[in-house]
Amino acid sequence: MNIKIYFWSIRIFSILFFFFISLFALDTITYFWGFLIHLVPSIIVLLLIIISWKHQITGGLLFIVTGLFSFLFFNFEAVYISLSPIFIGILFLLEIYFKNNEKRRKKIS
């Protein structure tokens, strides 16, 4: 697989997850502060995306920890919301693995 396609697919998937989490803030009937409180998980995911963009190992591990935390926080009921950050974190860690393999192949040949 081309590393650039993999690079952008992870980031697009994480941004889509950000928008999915942000949709839950739209169900507030209250004013501005209620909307902001419901956006806290989205802001956390956005910060993780920013960290992961440059530091894939740190961001990948933080995504995995966030997914495990949400898995425990929701008492194993919100599986899709909890598994998505874990999946994104694993993809960020795999990106590092693929980059290192590509560097080794170029070094050998």
pLDDT digits (tens, 9 = 90+) for 45-95: 999 999 999 999 999 999 999 999 988 888 877 787 889 999 999 999 999
Confidence band (pLDDT; 50, 70, 90) for 1?
Answer: low
Confidence band (pLDDT; 50, 70, 90) for 109?
Answer: low
Predicted TM-score (pTM) of this structure? 0.84
Q: Is 55 helix (H, G, I), strand (E, B) or coil?
A: coil
For the packed helices 79-108 and 3-23, what is the interaxial angle rounded to 10 degrees? 160
**At residue 23, does pLDDT exceed 70?**
yes
Per-residue exposure over 5-30, b if at least 16 CB sit within 10 Å of its own CB, e if not = eeeeebbeebeebbeebbeebeeeee
Residue 109 in tokens: 């040949």
